[in-house]
Chain A
Amino acid sequence: MEHRDDIGAKLGMWVFIFTEILLFGGLFLVYAIMRSSYSVEFHQAAHHLNAFIGSINTVVLLLSSATVAMSITAVQKGNNKLAVILLFITLLCAAVFMVNKYFEWGHKIHIGLYPGSDLMLTLSHGQVMFFSLYYFMTGLHMFHLVVGGIILTIVMVKVHRGTINPGRYVLLENGGLYWHLVDLIWIFLFPLLYLIT
């Protein structure tokens, strides 16, 4: 008889998610205080952000979260083939998100808006603060997206091989939880960074 504890495994994943919430929570707190100190500068700086790309990425991430959630349903019903397709759609969404980010950051770096640039030195302290937070928070979020993508790739292979199956799928659930966390953070990042003009 094999010993395992799925609830324990999920609880462990949640404890990790709590540390992530507090990590990003600290950054959101810095954002709140800087924004209250430099509200005018934050408004001006936010005009440089592309709300259209931000909106597209929000839709893409929400879709990717839904497909992960559906892949759990598929595995529970014994339909591993559909689960693999759904997870593949999720990874595709992650790729679209990254490509959008590449163009978004690329454009900003091209016009000289990046930490430590000559242009940045001419800006007011509040605007520099905004761009620093923008790069750090979206950058850290993107890092989580890449890690989540790697985890879900491993999960997808395991679903394909059948090591994740209707009798044992806690790894898929935990991978899904991580992916939803990435989504959760973006839900707050998007309005606070892109929609404050």
Chain B
Amino acid sequence: MHTETVHITPYRTHAWVLITLLALTFVTITVTWIDLSALTVAIALLIASVKAYIVLTYFMHLKFESSLFRVFVIMVLAIYVLVILFTLSDYLFR
């Protein structure tokens, strides 16, 4: 019988993750007050992606799961990026 080592994330880590996410939310909101036209969307999406990465890594515990989970997530995101690229290339260059 094998015993698996269970990773217990400390409360403190979750608290810091929450603070980081709230800070990033604040940044997203303040950035929209400054008019950067086309850049605004890019920055908003960049910050949202960073937040998503943090949620996936810590809250969704991917950092401490077997690497199989990470490989799956990366593959699904890659498929989604391909779908976006194919669709946009059709729309933008037809």
Contact = CB atoms under 8 A, between A and B. Distances in A.
Contact of B9 (A59, A62, A69, A187): A69
Given A11-B68, A58-B25, A184 B56 contact: yes
Q: Ordered nearest first, which 4 A-B pairs have the shortest CB separation?
A: A191-B44, A66-B18, A195-B32, A18-B76
Contacts of B79: 22
Given A62-B18, A66-B14, A191 B87 contact: no
Interface in A55-89: 55, 58-59, 62-63, 65-66, 68-70, 72-73, 76-77
A32 B9 contact: no
B76 A21 contact: yes
Interface in A143-197: 173, 176-177, 180, 183-184, 187-188, 190-192, 195-197
A191 B76 contact: no
A65 B14 CA distance: 9
Interface string A121-152: 00000000000000000000000000000000
A14 interface: yes
19 contacts: A10-B69, A18-B76, A29-B83, A29-B87, A55-B29, A65-B18, A66-B17, A66-B59, A70-B14, A176-B60, A177-B60, A184-B56, A188-B48, A188-B52, A191-B47, A192-B44, A195-B28, A195-B40, A195-B44
A33 interface: yes
A62 to B, nearest CB: 5
A106 interface: no
A58 B10 CA distance: 24
Nearest to A52: B29
B81 to A, nearest CB: 10
Contacts of A62: 18, 21-22, 25
A25 interface: yes
Contacts of A58: 25
A187 B72 contact: no
A18 B60 CA distance: 13
Contacts of A68: 59
Contacts of B47: 191
